[in-house]
Structure formats: C-alpha cells, structure tokens
Amino acid sequence: MNPGEPKRTVVLQGLGVSPGIAIGVAHLIRRVDAPISRYQLEDKSLVADEIRRLRKALKDSENQLLEIKRKFKDQEGLETLYILDVHIMILKDKMLIRQTIQNIEDKGVNAEWALRMTLDKYRDVFSKVDDEYLRERISDVEYAGQRILRNLAGVHHETVSGIGDNAIIIARDLSPADTMQMKVEKIQGFATDMGGKTSHTTIVARAYEIPAVVGIEKITTEAKTGDIVIVDGTAGAVIVNPDPEIIRRYELKKRHYETIEDSLLKHARKTATTLDKHRVLIGANIEFTEEIASAVHHGTDGIGLYRTEFIYINRDRLPTEEEHFCTYKKIVESKGIRFSTIRTFDLGGDKFISDPRLAAEMNPVMGLRAIRFCLREVDLFKVQLRAILRASAYGKTKVLFPMISGMEELLETKRIFNEVKKELKRDGIPYGKDVKIGIMMEVPSAALIAEDLAKEVDFFSIGTNDLIQYTLAIDRVNERVSYLYEPLHPAVLKLIRQVVEAGHKAGIEVAMCGEMAGEPVYTMVLLGLGLDELSMNALVIPRIKKVIRAVTVKECRKLVDRIMSFNMASEIEFFVRETMRRKFTDDFEVAN
C-alpha cells in the first residue's frame, strides 16, 4: 500500500465483554510463538539432554513468574497474584512433567514437541467439559505452556513494554503475567482473538471498566501497531482504521456513554410528550443489531436510522441477499420497537469495490456515493432492496434513501423500488403491505424543492450533518474550517423550517436523524420548528425526553420566532444556550 493511500477500514465482530467505547492507537502484543518443529532424537543419549533442557525451561519459567510476582505484589490485588501461583503450580505439576518426559523417552522427540503433545492432550480433555468457566481454564494451561516453550526456544525478554497512553491492546490472548506488566489503568481498550465471558482479559477489563471485545478471531492479523482502532464493548465491534466520519460519530457516542447518568433513566420509560400534550416520536440511530436492546432500555419508540454501511465494509465479496435479509429481519422483529427505518447504501464505491477507477476521489463527500452509486450499480442496489422488502413482512419497516438531490433521482429510485416489489409479488415472496418510503434531506437542493419531493414520498428525514456541511460549504473533518460548522446558522434553520413546512403541507411526517437531534441544547428549537420525530444515539434519549417533558410547544415556537429574527449564527447560538441554561439550571453550561 502506498504511504499516502488511506488505510482500508475493517470492521470485526466479537463478544463485547466490557461495555463502553474506546478510541485509540493499536498496540499489538505479538507472542514470539516460535513454530514448533518435531525432531526425532537420533541417539538415545540425547534423551537425557532433552529432559535436562525441559527441566531448565521449567525452572526458568518458574523464576520469571516469581520475579513478576515479587515486582508487583505491592501494586496489584491479590486475585491476579493468585493466578500467577496457579501458573507456577502448573509448571511444577507432576502429571504435566511426567507425561512430557514420558513423551521424550517413548517417542524419542524433542522437548518442545513432547510438551506440545502434553498440552494438546489437556486441550482435548478440557474441550469436552460442559462448564464454561472450567473449560476456559485451558487458557491457564496454555499461558504456562507458552512460557515454557518460549524458554525452550531461548526467548527470555518480555514483549509487553513501551505502551503509549492512548493504547488499545491487541493480542491473541492476554495472560495474567501480561496484564500485570501493563499500566492497566492507562489502557483505553482491549481486543483479542480468543477469550470468552470468563477469560482473563474479560475479568481485568471489567475490573478496570475498560471497554473490551474478545473472541474476534482475526484481530491480530487485521490490526497493526499504530493503526487507529475503535473498540465498542457495548456492541461487540472493533473498527480498524475508521475514516474521520466514523471517528467523529464514535467520539460522540463515547461522550454520551461517559455522561449517561442512571438518574436520567427514569425519563426513559415515559413518552416524549410536552406539557401541552404534544407527542414527539423518538428514534435510535444504530449500526449493529446488538445495539437494539440498549436502545429499548433507554426509551426509544423505534429505530429511526439503521445505517447499513457495516454490512458492506470489510468483506472480500459483496454481501448476499440472505445476509442482508437476516440482519434486517432481526431488526424489524425486535421486541419493544414500533418501527424500523432502514437507510440504503450510503457509501462511496471505493469502500468495498477494489476498482481503481472508483478509488480516491478528490472530494468524496460530493462524489459518486450513496444513491448516485446505487443508481449506477442497479443490480447491487436491488439485492439490498429485495432483502429490506422481504424483511418488511416481519415488522413495520420504513426505507430511507440517502443523498437525493433532485426529482429525477427520486423518481428513478422509486421506479427501481417498485420493480423489485413487482418481482417479489410475481415470485410469490411475501413483503410488508405498508412499507413507507422516505428520503434523507441533506442536500440543499432537495431542501429547496421539498414541496415537490414531498408529494412522492411518505416521510422526510433531515440529516443535519451533511445538510450543514453542504449548505455552509465546509468540510467538517477539516480542522481549519470546522469553526464554521454551525447548526444554528440562519441559513440552516431556514432550510429546516422549509422542509418541515413542505412536509406538513403534504401531510407527511418529518424526522431528524442528524447529530443535532441528539443535542439537548437544540431540543426546544427543533420542537419549535415542528419536527415529528427525533432520532439519536440511544444513550442520549433520556436526556432529550427530560427536556421535551418540561416544555410546551408554544414556548418553543416563541423561541424559534425570536431567533429567526437574528441574522448571525453566533447570536442565535448564544441566545439558545442562555435560554436553555435559565430554564434547566443544572443541565446546561453557561454560554460563551
């Protein structure tokens, strides 16, 4: 790969064993597992030498563990120290030693191979155990065994050192001896190939409340030291080399995760109804089906935005219709949600097709992506649409098309959608009778002709992230211009109001699924503008509900009327923040 070329984003799923979001730099802990070869001892006199080598390696291993134990006995809890004692006991285990020596003598093989045979025997025995906790104790045998093998290979140095402050630890598996040598409290997250609910990495991560995903199988082959890595311990996902947009999204998630207060959960179970009895629908933005339970727990009415991107990223081949279908079905039939809004493909083609003509666009946010890409690659688009429609037979489904900029695109999209419907009908494949279709309102041109577009769809969903950056012509991942990213810019507010009014005039619902919808400080403004549904990161729902339940639509409209008379974004921002701070004294910081 060329140095200038962006690294490929890889999404891997495992078992999320310690919740939370971590964003950091990968630090790969590579075990120097020398490949073990089998040597036949040609001369019987060599048997004694091999046994001597084995005994020395056992002794060395024991001394190393005793040394680690001595060094850390003042700093760590007794629990981890005890595990080291267990490992020492394994090194001295008479059955392990007897069996290994017997292998050397009877089979005439080298010590490494003889030990491997012993370890494999134990692996076999342990794998048949029903109890999960006991079954995973094979990892303790392996930790000890690997140490002996390293000593037999003459590798003495420990590999755990030089870990930076922002590190995500990536490893096949972590032993207690490994974690004891880390400043665990400084580590951001863990991601390992192996492990389960009771493995050592899990126990340590939970104890220190560090996000962790284990059992990922191939994280050590996909991540290199220095890569940016996101660990989502709640969804059980790890993203290697995320693009700036994904990083931003996860930074927000992380912040929500860290500021969530249990006391707010009492608002979660109530509806988002204002004091003057106006109900707003609340949606959750998700990207993994594993997030649905948390969304319901935090009080969502439905899934307001399911981003389908991760179905496509990081694959050797395109996802099949069945793969799409299984995911969508899981979403729409989830308990506790009233609707599921599935957004179709919203990426540039370069993300998953290695066609050099598609790669490296000068200006990817304005390039061949989302609906534009789908209308060019119709077959690919149809696979997704078929799957969504098939899933719609199992629960209330809404389909959301991203990046529509004009009427031609919308009509062409609808034509293809109806064609897929007809094909399903012809083939006798069931689909939902009342599937709503809607479009993202994120391109200014679409917002300006919203009145016409509204006649062709069942709902709008305003994507503020893109709407703001397209309207204000700023690249929001470019730090030099990011100060211009202003959600309350009068031009943005006017566009939002225009979209809401056009929608309501045509009798359709208008939702908002951008980051703005999940910012409590903007909630009154959005209510005043007349949004019917707000969709956001699940964790922030209780906070938003708290605001909605404490205000009237009447006062929100008054606020909007007032700020619409201002002509500077900074003025509006200040006024809104001051209003929120006065009304909710404890919840908002002083405007500056």
Nearer to another protein, 100 or 537 (CB): 100
**H or E, element range at 190:** strand 189-192
Catalytic residue among 87, 267, 513, 556: 513
Q: Which parts of 408-468 are beta strand (E)?
A: 436-441, 459-462
For 403, residues 6+ apart whose C-beta sits below 8 A from its C-beta are 346, 369, 370, 371, 372, 440, 442, 443, 466
Catalytic residue among 87, 200, 267, 489: 200
CA atoms within 13 A on the CB side of 271: 9
27 is catalytic: no
Residue 483 beta carbon to another protein: minimum distance, rounded to whole angstroms: 54
Residue 65 beta carbon to another protein: minimum distance, rounded to whole angstroms: 14
Nearer to another protein, 122 or 325 (CB): 122
The structure tokens 């030291």 sit at 225
Q: Are strands 281-286 and 237-240 parallel, antiparallel or unpaired?
A: unpaired
Nearer to another protein, 83 or 169 (CB): 83
Strand, helix or coil for residue 576:
helix
Strand-pairing partners, residue 37, are none
Strand, helix or coil for residue 38:
coil
By C-alpha distance, which of 580, 546, 513, 577 is closest to 249? 513
* Tokens representing residue 424 in the block: 């399903």
DSSP state of 34: P
* Tokens representing residue 221 in the block: 């082959």
Helical packing angle, 45-72 and 78-91, nearest 10°: 170
By C-alpha distance, which of 73, 20, 13 is closest to 212? 20
Residue 47 beta carbon to another protein: minimum distance, rounded to whole angstroms: 23
Nearer to another protein, 85 or 258 (CB): 85
Nearer to another protein, 145 or 487 (CB): 145
* Tokens representing residue 233 in the block: 């311990």
* Tokens representing residue 39 in the block: 């040597």
Residue 51 beta carbon to another protein: minimum distance, rounded to whole angstroms: 19
DSSP state of 509: E
Nearer to another protein, 200 or 351 (CB): 200
Nearer to another protein, 89 or 491 (CB): 89
Strand-pairing partners, residue 214, are 15
Nearer to another protein, 145 or 233 (CB): 145
By C-alpha distance, which of 343, 321, 304 is closest to 544? 304
Strand, helix or coil for residue 582:
helix
Write b or e for each residue in 555-588: b if 16 or more Cβ atoms lie within 10 A of its Cβ, otherwise e: bbeebbeebeebeebeebbebbbebbbeebeeeb
| Type of residue numbered 591 | A
Residue 87 beta carbon to another protein: minimum distance, rounded to whole angstroms: 9
How many other CB atoms sit within 10 Å of the CB of residue 74? 6
Cα 343 to Cα 399: distance, rounded to the nearest angstrom: 6
Cα 364 to Cα 248: distance, rounded to the nearest angstrom: 17
Nearer to another protein, 78 or 473 (CB): 78
* Tokens representing residue 269 in the block: 């179970």
513 is catalytic: yes
The structure tokens 């951008």 sit at 514
The residues of the shown chain that bind another protein, judged by CB under 8 A, are 82-83, 85-86, 89-90, 93-96, 122, 125-126, 129-131, 133-135, 137, 140-141
Cα 523 to Cα 359: distance, rounded to the nearest angstrom: 39
Q: Which residues are catalytic?
A: 200, 513
